[in-house]
Amino acid sequence: DQQVKQNSPSLSVQEGRISILNCDYTNSMFDYFLWYKKYPAEGPTFLISISSIKDKNEDGRFTVFLNKSAKHLSLHIVPSQPGDSAVYFCAASAPRNDYKLSFGAGTTVTVRA
Amino acid sequence: DAGITQSPRHKVTETGTPVTLRCHQTENHRYMYWYRQDPGHGLRLIHYSYGVKDTDKGEVSDGYSVSRSKTEDFLLTLESATSSQTSVYFCAISESLGRADTQYFGPGTRLTVL
């Protein structure tokens, strides 16, 4: 039973516009959330994270928003660039589970020139 | 980039044969993990290690075993490969199990079981 869900398998956005990726979770014990980015033939790389005590975290063009009551988080990329074309994985962890990561299925982002 | 290598990077094998994948790190991190990535499932944890000779199961451990005889090496073995084990396998490392301790991933091994 997948506890972290990314319901949009793909997203196409024009260069310069905003990309919004969504992630839902079912386990209320999750208290730390991460986004990883993955290019073809490479391993995932850490992008940004957020603790459950916050509702927003920014790092340059990337902002993650957390809505605990809705068990929902989103990643905003502004402005989108061609190098942002990749698969983005949402992940969550809980102290009870030794902070092992549970991943969503991923969203493939394509940035059009 | 974290110093993580995986070997082989690609392997094709036949059903019923044993397969061993190797993960090697130069970061001296205590924790090592094996994941598989499949379409529609994201990454799923197979096994992990919290020190030399200390390992535990993840969510999809059936059909897999692991060993860690040195800090830097973590081996994943498929004793008798099946077609359902065709996947991309990623190794990851982390310094500890803390909330903010990021996992760093290797480049992956693409395994095809015919």
pLDDT exceeding 90 applies to what percent of chain B? 89
Q: Taking CB atoms and an 8 Å cutoff, what residues of chain A touch B103?
A: 46, 101
Q: What is the mean pLDDT of residues A100-112?
A: 95
Q: Taking CB atoms and an 8 Å cutoff, what residues of chain B touch A42?
A: 107-108
Give yes or no for a contact between A39 and A24, defined as CB atoms under 8 angstroms apart.
Answer: no
For B13-63, how does the pLDDT look when each residue is reduced to its tens digit (9 = 90+)? 999 999 999 999 999 999 999 999 998 889 999 999 999 999 999 999 999
Using a 10 angstrom Cβ sphere, with 0-12 exposed, 13-18 middle and 19 or more buried, the burial of residue A107 is buried
CA B59 – CA A52 distance, rounded (Å): 24
Of chain B residues 42-101, which have a CB less than 8 A from chain A?
A: 42-45, 48, 58, 90, 92, 97-101
Phi, psi of A39 (to 5 degrees): -90, 155
3 state SS of A23: strand
For chain B, give the number of residues.
114
